[in-house]
Structure 1
Amino acid sequence: MRNGSADLIDVLSGSFERELTVNVFNGTDRVLEGERFESWQLDSVLSGRVCSDGSGVLVHASQGGESLVPVGTSGVLSPFRARVEPVMTIRAGGFSESVSLGMFRVTSVPSAADTTTPFEGRELVVASRVGLRFYSLDEDVERWGFRFPEQSPAGSSAYAEIRRITGMPVEVTLADVALPTAKVWEAKQGGRLDAVHELGRVLGGTAMVNSRGAWVVVPDKVADPVMTLRLGELGTVLDVNDEIDTDTVYNEVIGSFEDADGNPFYSIASVDSGDLATTGSYRPNTRYYASDLVKTPQQGKAAVQSVLDLSIGSQMYDVQVQCHVNPLVEVGDVVAVEGWVRALVGQVTAVKLSDSAYMNVTLRVHRELS
């Protein structure tokens, strides 16, 4: 959840106006502030390799005839140096509060043009319009490969390894896990980001960069909601649809591992009784699991049982919600939906923001299976 005051939360449940501007950074220097941003969108997906991507057109009114159209590596908006921070300002009556949507790496400039006017025999730039494509800071780790295979330090923990690999801040959201053995990370395209995602799974969740620019691991299990979306004529949720799918409800997990000497071994966990028993009418639905962090039969048994418990403990289905823009919501948050035909609590797995007055949110809802 992005940072916001209690007053802002109250305002977002009623009528308000919004405006999006961007700040531009070169390194740690803020070189532009409060620039107009048009035709923008920002999409975030928890399961995405890089969590968030966006685009928009920055409109700069020239003060002294300067152009912001970048040329190669030159210019404050050059994708070789620029970072952007979209900032949404909410206003209602005399109330005003701004919310940073995060820091993003500019990766391309798909369009750029100056508006000019003749002045004393020369063309003077009046305004620049620069299209920007940008990604969340996971992109930095995606691009930064290992120069050669790297081995995790002996006795390292998962969070310590994420800090070492990324060189970025880390917010601890789950209990840390000691790596059972020294792990060798492969030097390949995207290998550093692969390593972070694997460590996130070891911790029991999905690794991503949040709006504060820190790595977090979003838990697989749904916790208590941090905010509420309300239905009704004056509420925030406009439309809800749900879908049920049993494809991912596994009642048998088979793990394939190797011990410290490279000898293969297998671990199996299955449901033996009840509605989801492999011998019952549901029939076997098998999932295969592997991890080179598992080195003993005891670790293998615990690993496959954990995967099985997560599967049979709940059935996940997606709820599509369209609601008025709420800049505080980000992927990984757990929210409640009230006022529908039944109470819903789900994890936000996708958010689509744009210059529309509405946003689209996907909730991953867990229905308990008895």
Structure 2
Amino acid sequence: MRHGSNQLSDTLSSTFERELKVNIYNGTERVLEGERFESWQLDADLGAKVCTSGSGVLVHESVMGESLSPVGTKGLLSPFRARIEPVLTVRDGDFEESISLGMFRATGVPATSDTLVEFQGEEVVSASRVGIRFESLDEDTRRWGFRSPEQSPAGASAFGEIRRLTGMPVEQTVPDVPMPTIKVWEARKGSRLDAVLELGRILGGSAVVNSRGAWIIVPDAVGDPVATLRLGELGTVLDVADEIDTEEVYNEVVGAFEDANGNPIRAVAEVTSGDLAVTGNYGRNTQYYSSDLVKTQEQAQTAVQALLDISTGSQVYDVQIQCHVNPLVEIGDVVKLEGWKRPLIGRLRRVSMSDSAYMNVTIRVHRELS
């Protein structure tokens, strides 16, 4: 969750004005500040490899007749060098507060145009309009490949390996765990990012880059809500709470693994009592699992039991919501919806913001089964 004042949280529950501008960085130097940004879109998806992407048009009013249209690697807005920070300002009367939506890597400039005017007999640029596409900083990790297969250090922990692989800040949001075995990361396109995502699963969640530019693990377990979304008069909820789907409710998990010497390890976990018992009316619904990080019988049994507990603990379904913009929330946050016919709490899987007063979100809700 992004940080904001208590007064901002109160303001977001009422009517307010908003404005988005952007800062541009080349390396660590801020080269442009508070530039107008139009026709913008910011889409985040917890299930995507690169979790956030966006686009918009930067509008720059020239001071000395300069053009901001980049040419190849040259120019402050060249995607070969630019980083972009969208900043959303909320206003209500005398109150004003700005929230950084994060730092992003510019990945493309689809179109540019300069407005020319005549000044002292010469044509000069009065304004530049530059379209920009951008991605969250996990794109840096995706592009950075291994030169050859690379082995994790002996005794490494999962968070330590994420730090080593990415060279980026890491916020430890769940307990660290030792690597269960030395792991070899393959040299192929995107394998460094794939390695980080696998480490997230070892830590019991999903690895993403947050708005502060740090890797975090969004845990699988849903905790208490950290924010409230407001539905409002024009808000909509596409609620599938009445839908029941048994396809992914497994009551038996079968695991197949190998120890350090290549000998097979087998492990099974099953439900033996209640409505989901394998001997009951539901019958058996089997899930299979394997991982080269499991090397002992104890690890194997723990792994299949954990998967069984997740499957039988609840059924998940996604609720699509259009609600008032809240710049404090980001994917992975557990939120509560206000203004709906019944309480609704779940984890934000998708967030789509634009220059609209409303944003579209997808909340993954759990229905208890046992």
**Shorter-chain TM-score: which interval?**
over 0.9
Question: Normalised by the size of structure 1, how large is the TM-score?
Answer: 0.97
Q: Which runs of 5+ in 1 are unaligned?
A: none
Give a deviation string over 1:303-360, Cα, whole Å, max 9, x none: 0101110111111111111111110010000011244332221000100001111001
Distance 1:230 1:237 in 2: 8
**Matching residue of 1:91:** 91
Alignment of 1:109-124 (within 5 A): 109-124=109-124
Shift of 1:286: 2.0
Structure 2 SS opposite 1:242: coil
Shift of 1:265: 2.2
Structure 2 residue corresponding to 1:242, chosen from 217, 235, 240: 240
**Matching residue of 1:35:** 35
CA contact (8 A) 1:319 1:362 kept: yes
Distance 1:98 1:238 in 2: 27
**Matching residue of 1:188:** 188
Counterpart of 1:242, as a letter, is V
Residue range with higher mean Cα deviation, 61-70 or 146-155? 146-155
**Matching residue of 1:291:** 291
Counterpart of 1:229, as a letter, is L
**Matching residue of 2:102:** 102
Q: Is 1:251–2:243 an aligned residue pair?
A: no
Distance 1:276 1:61 in 2: 65
Question: Normalised by the size of structure 2, how large is the TM-score?
Answer: 0.97
CA contact (8 A) 1:86 1:100 kept: yes
Alignment of 1:1-370 (within 5 A): 1-231=1-231, 233=233, 237-243=235-241, 244=243, 245-370=245-370
Give a deviation string over 1:257-307, Cα, whole Å, max 9, x none: 111011222211111222112232323222221211100111101101011
CA contact (8 A) 2:229 2:324 kept: no
Distance 1:248 1:143 in 2: 34
Could you say if the C-alpha distance between residues 222 and 237 of structure 1 is closer, same or farther in structure 2, counting changes exceeding 3 Å?
A: farther
Distance 2:11 2:170 in 1: 31
Distance 2:151 2:315 in 1: 37
Counterpart of 1:327, as a letter, is P
Q: State percent identity of aligned pairs.
A: 67
Aligned-residue RMSD, C-alpha:
1.3
Counterpart of 1:27, as a letter, is G
Distance 2:226 2:84 in 1: 27
CA contact (8 A) 2:231 2:324 kept: no
Q: Which runs of 5+ in 2 are unaligned?
A: none
CA contact (8 A) 1:229 1:237 kept: no
Distance 1:232 1:109 in 2: 36
Shift of 1:238: 4.0
Counterpart of 1:263, as a letter, is N
Give a deviation string over 1:4-34, Cα, whole Å, max 9, x none: 0000000000000000000000000000000
Could you say if the C-alpha distance between residues 338 and 39 of structure 1 is closer, same or farther in structure 2, counting changes exceeding 3 Å?
A: closer
